[in-house]
Copies of this chain bind each other. A is one copy, B any other.
């Protein structure tokens, strides 16, 4: 592999001059030509490891997410990647599988690899970003804020999303609306449940009992399990709010298998139904602009990398209720 010395030798200049050309610093036109030609003929590529060691900062940013198989996060990832790549950074994706230890390991690596910044969707409510911050690295939280860390964060208005979904069912005439949200330890799940609760307390003469709010794994299996239980209840509800896209898929699976239509048993979903092959008539969906979250988080990160100081900013992105009209095209 050619080094900067090889290029210098071939061009008949010093390594410093080569470095200057590579980094766009002033060099005589003649030498610039020589260096460029030499680099070309040697097929020279700067060694990024050495550069990073010297500069103490790489041109890589990491995106740490808990579930790479959830379209919510892959769409988010696209947003971050688009923004960062446009600014010349490479984006590497790290999947923690919801495992706090893996997340910590990736943050460690980001630190010791001298990465320029990290966008993290924390697996739990605690996330060890302090070491990164102490070293002056850019860190942005996305989807879920990190309590106690004064950093930029980009989140959904989860309470509002919960309200929108619940209101859609209420207005469709349902009066005993349950909610399957995510784990009690995940703030997005809790907030969506709070939105559901708020709205019913405002509208309903008899607010729902606490047993109408159930927690599920934020995956298809979780939705299936809780939906099945709800249906087998002695006094079962007449509608349900699904706390995220995958829970929605699971719940819909159960309803469909039992031949229950959305008119018979109401269901609204917080988050876009991924890859739906059926129109899902009558199912209100609260669209969450995940790609926008990603681009926003990416933009904040770039600003921080560029040296922006100041207290952590908090950007809240609203969900948007999609009409549950028949014939609406699903999927993408």
A327 on interface, CB distance cutoff 8 Å: yes
- What 1/0 mask marks residues of chain A from 276 to 287 whose CB sits below 8 Å from any chain B CB? 111110000000
Quick one: closest B residue to A251, CB to CB? B277
Kindly report how many copies of this chain are found in the complex they form together.
2
Question: Hey, which chain B residues are within 8 Å of A75, CB to CB?
Answer: 69
A39 on interface, CB distance cutoff 8 Å: no
A332 on interface, CB distance cutoff 8 Å: yes
Question: Hey, which chain B residues are within 8 Å of A113, CB to CB?
Answer: 48-49
Q: A219 to B49, alpha carbons, bound, how many Å?
A: 37
A26-76 at interface with B (beta carbon < 8 Å): 45-50, 52-53, 58, 62, 68-69, 71, 74-75
- CB A109 to nearest CB in B, in angstroms, measures 6
Question: Hey, which chain B residues are within 8 Å of A299, CB to CB?
Answer: none
A78 on interface, CB distance cutoff 8 Å: yes
Question: Hey, which chain B residues are within 8 Å of A77, CB to CB?
Answer: 68, 95
- CB A287 to nearest CB in B, in angstroms, measures 16
Question: Hey, which chain B residues are within 8 Å of A49, CB to CB?
Answer: 49, 52-53, 58, 112-114
- CB A295 to nearest CB in B, in angstroms, measures 15
- CB A318 to nearest CB in B, in angstroms, measures 23
Question: Hey, which chain B residues are within 8 Å of A332, CB to CB?
Answer: 219-221
Q: A92 contacts which of B47, B93, B329 (Cβ < 8 Å)?
A: B93
A160 on interface, CB distance cutoff 8 Å: no
Q: A331 to B330, alpha carbons, bound, how many Å?
A: 17
Quick one: closest B residue to A113, CB to CB? B48
Quick one: closest B residue to A106, CB to CB? B90
Quick one: closest B residue to A77, CB to CB? B68
Task: Evaluate contact between B257 and A277: CB separation under 8 angstroms.
Answer: no
- CB A39 to nearest CB in B, in angstroms, measures 13
Question: Hey, which chain B residues are within 8 Å of A58, CB to CB?
Answer: 49
Task: Evaluate contact between A92 and B95: CB separation under 8 angstroms.
Answer: no
- CB A104 to nearest CB in B, in angstroms, measures 12
A25 on interface, CB distance cutoff 8 Å: no
Quick one: closest B residue to A102, CB to CB? B85
- CB A301 to nearest CB in B, in angstroms, measures 17
Task: Evaluate contact between A45 and B93: CB separation under 8 angstroms.
Answer: no
A252 on interface, CB distance cutoff 8 Å: yes
Quick one: closest B residue to A269, CB to CB? B277
Q: A277 contacts which of B47, B71, B221, B278 (Cβ < 8 Å)?
A: B278
- What 1/0 mask marks residues of chain A from 89 to 118 whose CB sits below 8 Å from any chain B CB? 011111100000010011011011110000
5 A-B pairs with C-beta separation under 8 A: A45-B112, A47-B112, A49-B112, A253-B276, A274-B274
Known: A62-B92, A221-B332, A253-B276. 8 other contacts (CB 8 A): A1-B135, A53-B53, A77-B95, A93-B93, A249-B275, A253-B277, A257-B327, A277-B280
